[in-house]
Amino acid sequence: MLPSPPPQLLETIRYAWSRDCSAKELSRRVEGIENLGAVLLRYMESKHGSSGQKKRTAARATVLLGSKSVGSIAAWLAVADAINAADLDSDAVSALYEDSLRRCAAMMMLARKTQAITEVHAAAIGMSLELGRVDLICRDTHRVIWLNGLRSAHGEARLQKEQEYLQATHLEGFKAVSWRWGLPPEISVPVLAHHGEPGNSIADMARCADLMAEVYTSSEPAKALSVAKVVLRERLKIDADAAQKMIAILNKRVVEAGELLGTPPPEQLDLQTVLSKHDENFTEMSREQLLKLLDGHRREAKQTKEQVEALKGRLITMRGEDSLTGLLNRQRYLERLQLEIDQADGRPGALSLLLLDVDMLDEQNECNGMETGDRILQTVGQIIQLLCEDRDFGARVGGDEFAMVLINRSTPKARLTAERVRAAVENAKVDHKGTRARTSATVVGICIDDLEAPTAESLHAKVMQELERIKGSNRTGWAV
């Protein structure tokens, strides 16, 4: 998880944007946060020069700038500090910080151009645009593979791909961070709206700043430049030539923004270099160089594929699913079972549990191969899903063991369901080299009424005890 800034800094941000803020109290708070005072003074010097600097203090800067500007600078600093404190390798932190600074610098440039908001308010919004992405990466570093791979997608297309591949978008990541930190709506709302329809002037600025920064990080910078020009014209009425000039000097402004925060980035590439490095002249390369380059790309592709497969597995686990059958995994099953037991609250016949063991699966794997065994397991999973009603749910709780939790099913009805499941498995048609593989299962059940003060673990253990006794028999039983 992305680390939170110091509580004192977050409280100052909220206080500065509140209606009850007083200059005296805000000055007192600012003087208690050394790095915030230093940024305020550097910003004042950049705007008004160094004359009288010896007499200028953080408290005086607070009064001159006003509470909203102080709150914006505090938020700007908080985001920068959090990114630099992220528990990632130093190269990743540096890249994420520079990426955020680009959006920050772009927003500051657009604020000067449009006069819609103050420069420091724009800086806080711009710095926050990548905050959700950073949080997603901090939660799972494998996500950086996907997020970087989506650099050529824009707007809604990127959000859709993020949702498809990660089950989360960078906007959802930002929403979680904004809620956790208590960022004021003046900062959080434009960030959350910047992928939306045109019409909100500050959100439109944020969208444009996002695209201006993308030119320097996209896998297709020339395409990103064209998109940025179009959107700047449509949303902010900035013509293509003016947009090109602003984007061309963006990385100079990135260094300036970093210096104001006290953490300047390394020297930045100019626009022409960024565009040209993606347009190498391969005709001048020797055959050996081309083969070496191709071999390197193949190795990277293989490594990426392996990382993607690992990520898919981790995402399935995070959702609490069994990767083979799509049913709940054991941990999620026990959590859901306990929740249903708690909600049952002693009502008669409120819940019944069935455990199913696939008969002779090891022998099937030995004789017919693991693929046939996997097809049998998948078929059993499908049968369980088909026979679940309303709030019922199924799970794979072991290699060849499954569970069904039946809600509001008394003993007679649960026994009937157990027999239906057993018969369905016995009659299942699982193909093995053109012939039908033999399938059968032993099913044992219990009603919540048959155990005093049950828990998920004790209910499961009671049924398991009876299942161990009769498994392999292709029949149903009942634990009492």
Q: What's the rounded Cα separation, in Å, for the pair 52 and 194?
A: 40
pLDDT in the model for residue 322: 85
Q: Are the CB atoms for 254 and 265 separated by under 8 Å?
A: yes
Pick 291 or 88 by higher pLDDT: 88
Q: What is the pLDDT of residues 251-265, one digit of tens each?
A: 999 999 999 999 888
pLDDT in the model for residue 304: 57
Hunting for tokens 């645009």 — which residue is that? 129
Q: What's the rounded Cα separation, in Å, for the pair 141 and 139?
A: 7
Q: What is the pLDDT of residues 35-47, one digit of tens each?
A: 998 999 999 888 8
Pick 275 or 393 by higher pLDDT: 393
Which backbone phi and psi does 356 adopt, to 5 degrees? -125, 135
Average pLDDT of the chain, as a whole number: 85
pLDDT in the model for residue 196: 83
Q: For residue 404, which of 418, 424, 416 has the smallest C-alpha distance?
A: 418
Q: Is 435 helix (H, G, I), strand (E, B) or coil?
A: strand
Q: Are the CB atoms for 27 and 36 separated by under 8 Å?
A: no
pTM of the model: 0.58
Residue 470: is it exposed, middle or buried by C-beta count within 10 angstroms (0-12/13-18/19+)? middle
pLDDT in the model for residue 343: 87
Pick 445 or 438 by higher pLDDT: 445
Say whether pLDDT at 161 is over 60: yes
Query: With bands split at pLDDT 50, 70 and 90, how would you rate the model's confidence at 282?
Result: very low
Q: Find all residues with CB under 8 Å of 258, minimum gap 6, and list them.
A: 101, 264, 265
Fold of the 330-478 domain = Alpha-Beta Plaits (3.30.70)
229-248 burial: b if 16+ Cβ within 10 Å, else e: bebbeebbebeeeebeebbe
Q: What's the rounded Cα separation, in Å, for the pair 299 and 288?
A: 17
Q: Are the CB atoms for 461 and 403 separated by under 8 Å?
A: no
Mean pLDDT value across residues 347-362: 92
Mean pLDDT value across residues 449-467: 91
Q: Are the CB atoms for 74 and 14 separated by under 8 Å?
A: no
Q: What's the rounded Cα separation, in Å, for the pair 58 and 37?
A: 5
182: left (phi over 0), alpha (psi -120 to 50) or beta: left
Query: With bands split at pLDDT 50, 70 and 90, how would you rate the model's confidence at 305?
Result: low
DSSP tag of 453 = S
Which range, 276-285, 290-299, 462-471, has the best average confidence (pLDDT)? 462-471
H helix intervals, 436-479: 456-470
| Count of residues making up the chain | 480
Q: What's the rounded Cα separation, in Å, for the pair 296 and 74?
A: 45
Q: What's the rounded Cα separation, in Å, for the pair 197 and 200?
A: 8
Q: What CATH superfamily classification does 7-276 receive?
A: Hypothetical protein af1432 (1.10.3210.10)
Which backbone phi and psi does 405 adopt, to 5 degrees? -105, 120
Mean pLDDT value across residues 242-271: 90
